[in-house]
């Protein structure tokens, strides 16, 4: 007996999108966007686009000229794409990076950053009554992800951000660049002192990720009502989240940030605001 074949064809008016990076084979975006394309029956495709650095700028313009609706941009191009964009959203300027590009009908290249949106929406999905203005947030790490997290928390009226990083100069530099007096830099060796009366603790460092050292922080001073989240999602439950959960804190893993940050691009390119479900989570995590 022959196996039934699922046929996916594109029409002459299919919408085209993809993810540009170098390398790009690690990206979960094609699987994620592909799931939504199938779920919503969209006449479109989303493909991995490995692009060498010397070809990057020309490739973005070529995709526009080829009629693509837009692209996601990942490492190492999140900053380089700035120079290619004709228009940038306010949040992309403040975060200092672009992850979502849309080609407008008049040929303009529009850059946005949806990482902060993904961070906030992930927390809202698991803690629907979360109030970001209810107390200080402690942010561990001062890389690109930290910047998106901090900008989004400030936009949600977080009253104070306590920023701490192994390399103190990077934390000071980030605070200076964002330029909001609600950011206070705390020395890394005394990070635990910043937990007192915090409403939210966020790990944006790579500590705790598969193959990286664990994040060691004494949570003793953290209120039980505080929410703890990690942008690391491999493993889903980092030692930070396991430790926080064991002492009664509500925890939110980092996978949802990846899933939610993809929504605005899908909406713009394919016309549907997609939903992040537990089935999607399982699909994205399952081996190809
Ligand atoms: P991303 O853009 O994904 O945030 P990044 O810019 O490489 O990545 O930042 C990684 C973060 O993890 C930084 O805050 C880094 O601290 P440093 O600025 O001191 O490098 C942090 N990090 C990585 N390894 C670390 C370690 N072993 N101990 C403490 N922090 C670490």
Is position 27 annotated in a ligand binding site?
yes
Q: Is 64 annotated as a binding residue?
A: no
Pocket flag, ligand 1, residue 174 (CB < 6 Å): no
* Among candidate residues 164, 72, 176, the one with its CA nearest the CA of residue 118: 72
- Residues 103 and 111: their CA atoms lie apart, in Å, by 9
* Mean of pLDDT values over 74-85: 95
Question: Which of 99, 206, 207, 254 maximizes ligand 1 atoms within 8 Å of its Cβ, making it the mutation to test the pocket?
Answer: 206
DSSP string, 138-151: EEE--SHHHHHHHH
Instruction: Give the pLDDT score at 283.
Output: 97
Strand segments (E) across 34-88: 44-50, 70-73, 87-88
Q: Name which residue sits closest to atom 30 of ligand 1, judged by CA.
A: 166
Query: Measured from the CB, is residue 172 less than 6 Å from ligand 1?
Result: no
DSSP state of 255: H
Q: Nearest 5°: phi and psi at 100?
A: -135, 120
The label of the residue with tokens 């170098």 reads 22
Q: 200-252, pLDDT tens digit by residue?
A: 999 999 999 999 999 999 999 999 999 999 999 999 999 999 999 999 999 99
Lowest mean pLDDT among 3-12, 25-34, 132-141: 3-12
Ligand 1 mutation target, pool 143, 169, 233, most atoms within 8 A of CB: 143
Distance of CA 180 to the CA centre of its chain: 22
| Type and span of the H or E element at 260 | helix 255-261
The answer on pLDDT for 1 being more than 70 is no
Question: Residue 8: what pLDDT?
Answer: 74
Lowest mean pLDDT across 6-10, 12-16, 77-81, 206-210: 6-10
Enzyme catalytic residues: 78
pTM of the prediction?
0.96
Give residue 167 CA to ligand 1 midpoint distance, Å.
Answer: 8
The percent of residues above 70 in pLDDT, for the chain, comes to: 99
Residue 118 CA to ligand 1 center (angstroms) comes to 20
- Is 254 marked within a binding site? yes
Does the beta carbon of 143 sit less than 6 angstroms from any atom of ligand 1?
Answer: yes
Q: DSSP per residue over 200-248, as a string? A: EEEE-SSTTSTTSPPP---GGGS-TT-EEEES--SSSS-HHHHHHHHTT
| Residue whose CA lies nearest to ligand 1 atom number 12 | 205
Closest-lying ligand 1 atom to the alpha carbon of residue 145: 4
pLDDT reading at 6 higher than 90: no
Q: Which of 151, 205, 238 gets mutated to test ligand 1 (max ligand atoms within 8 A of its CB)?
A: 205
> In order of start, what are the domains of the chain with their CATH numbers?
15-112+257-285 (3.40.50.10860), 116-252 (3.40.50.720)
Beta carbons within 10 angstroms of residue 84's beta carbon: 19
What pLDDT, on a 0 to 100 scale, did the predictor assign at position 285? 93
Strand order of the sheet with strand 183-185? Answer: 183-185, 161-164, 137-140, 200-203, 227-230, 250-252
Q: Is 213 in the pocket of ligand 1 (CB under 6 A)?
A: yes
Look at residue 71 in the predicted model and tell me its pLDDT. 98
Nearest Cα residue to 97 out of 141, 61, 145: 145
User: Which residue's CA is the nearest one to ligand 1's atom 5?
Assistant: 143
Alpha-carbon gap, residue 19 to 39, rounded angstroms: 20
């Amino acid at each position: 007996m022959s196996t039934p074949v699922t046929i996916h064809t594109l029409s002459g008016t299919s919408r085209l999108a993809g993810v540009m990076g170098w390398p790009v084979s690690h990206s979960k975006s094609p699987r994620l966007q592909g799931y939504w394309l199938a779920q919503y029956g969209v006449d479109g495709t989303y493909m991995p686009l490995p692009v060498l650095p010397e070809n990057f700028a020309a490739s973005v313009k070529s995709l526009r000229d080829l009629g693509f609706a837009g692209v996601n941009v990942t490492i190492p191009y999140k900053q380089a794409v700035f120079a290619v964009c004709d228009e940038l959203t306010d949040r992309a300027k403040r975060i200092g990076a672009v992850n979502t590009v849309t080609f407008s009908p008049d040929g303009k290249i529009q850059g946005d950053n949806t990482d902060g949106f993904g961070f906030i929406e992930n927390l809202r999905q698991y803690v629907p009554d979360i109030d970001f203005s209810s107390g200080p947030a402690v942010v561990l790490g001062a890389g690109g992800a930290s910047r998106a997290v901090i900008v989004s928390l400030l936009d949600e009226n977080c009253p104070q951000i306590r920023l701490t990083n192994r390399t103190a100069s990077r934390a000071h530099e980030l605070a200076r660049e964002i330029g909001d007096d609600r950011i206070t830099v705390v020395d890394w060796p005394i990070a635990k002192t910043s937990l007192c009366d915090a409403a939210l603790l966020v790990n944006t460092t790579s500590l705790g990720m598969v193959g990286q050292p664990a994040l060691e922080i004494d949570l003793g001073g953290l209120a039980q009502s505080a929410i703890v989240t990690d942008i690391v999602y491999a493993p889903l439950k980092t030692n930070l989240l396991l430790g926080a959960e064991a002492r009664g804190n509500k925890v939110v893993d980092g996978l949802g940030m990846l899933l939610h940050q993809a929504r605005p691009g899908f909406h713009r390119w394919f016309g549907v605001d997609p939903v992040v479900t537990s089935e999607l989570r399982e699909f994205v995590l399952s081996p190809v």
